[in-house]
Amino acid sequence: MTLQKAALADYGAVLAFYDDVIERTPEIGRYARWQKGKHPTAEGIRSFIEEGSMYLYRERDIVGAMVVTLYQGEDYHAIEWLKDVADNEVAVIHLLAVSPDRQSEGIGSGMVMEAIRIARDHGMRSVRLDALSTNTPAHRIYEGLGFEYRGKQHLYAENTGWTDFYFFELNETKKTMKRTIGICGIDCEKCDAFIATRNNDQALREKTAKLWAELNNAPILPEHINCEGCRKDGAKTFFCSELCAVRRCALEKGFETCGDCPDKETCPKVGEIWSNNAQARVNLQ
């Protein structure tokens, strides 16, 4: 994933992007509680662009946007952080958003990882962020990427009034799951479709397509055997992207993996996978 800094020439497109996110993201009023004209504001977006902290992920049009500031504000001072560092040694992630047409594809997670890289490239000693206490899907994503809850504050915002904000900090000593571990726990690196894609191995594509076509009694062709991983951006097999009930369930519920789901021990969908692949369950622990 490659991000670009937004320029003032992008201002109108960025503003339209955030408006579209607010208008079409399901349940945004329940979780993030963004409101057009109140949060984010046009003035705030322009200010972030002018200071060089607005980043865009494009695939021709804007697919994702976020702000990465190389400083923290005074509202972060009241929290007991893992690292005691100066304001200008902290990178803070704000306004992370993904187009409603591309949500639940792992793009947001990829952008957070890019934000961490940006922070490191600039010598930042800590990466932090905040989210409304109601934004539980975002909390799960951040925690799955190694961020740790550090406390809350009752603050005022134009779009919410007085409400609780949760604060998170990247814990770099915390074990994080490699991105090739699928939502169900299976390691995608061991999948023939992943291997064929990574190595551009046409012979393996043809072999895999023939086997999968026979097993599934379906017209699976070599050109269908392209996958870069269940939880990573990029190509996926048709089964993974459209038919996998486990992946669809986790994405609909806002879970990074089945390991985050409180019903995992009684779930028949992932239970069938774990009964045939014990390591998949271990991978999510």
The pLDDT tens digits of the residues spanning 163-173 come to 999 999 999 77
Predicted local distance difference test score (pLDDT) of residue 175: 55
Predicted local distance difference test score (pLDDT) of residue 64: 95
Q: Among 15-24, 49-58, 270-279, which stretch is predicted with the lowest mean pLDDT? A: 270-279
| Contacts for 68 with CB less than 8 Å, ≥ 6 apart | 53, 55, 91, 92, 93, 94, 115, 118, 119
As a whole number, mean pLDDT of residues 222-243 equals 85
Q: What are the C-alpha distances in Å from 120 to residues 68, 111, 264?
A: 12, 14, 35
As a whole number, mean pLDDT of residues 107-133 equals 92
CB neighbours (10 Å) of residue 62?
A: 22
As a whole number, mean pLDDT of residues 219-246 equals 86
Evaluated on CA atoms 15, 17, 18, 24, the torsion sign reads: positive
Within the chain, which residue ranges are assigned CATH 3.40.630.30? 4-170
Predicted local distance difference test score (pLDDT) of residue 72: 95
Predicted local distance difference test score (pLDDT) of residue 24: 93
pLDDT of 207 above 60 = yes
Q: How confident is the model at residue 93 (pLDDT cuts 50, 70, 90)?
A: very high
- Most confident by average pLDDT, 83-92, 236-245, 260-269: 83-92
- Most confident by average pLDDT, 36-45, 48-57, 165-174, 241-250: 48-57
Architecture of domain 4-170: 3-Layer(aba) Sandwich (3.40)
Q: What is the mean pLDDT of the chain?
A: 89
Residue with tokens 């069938």: 272
pLDDT of 30 above 90 = no
Distance from the Cα of residue 19 to its chain's centroid:
20
pTM: 0.64
Predicted local distance difference test score (pLDDT) of residue 177: 65
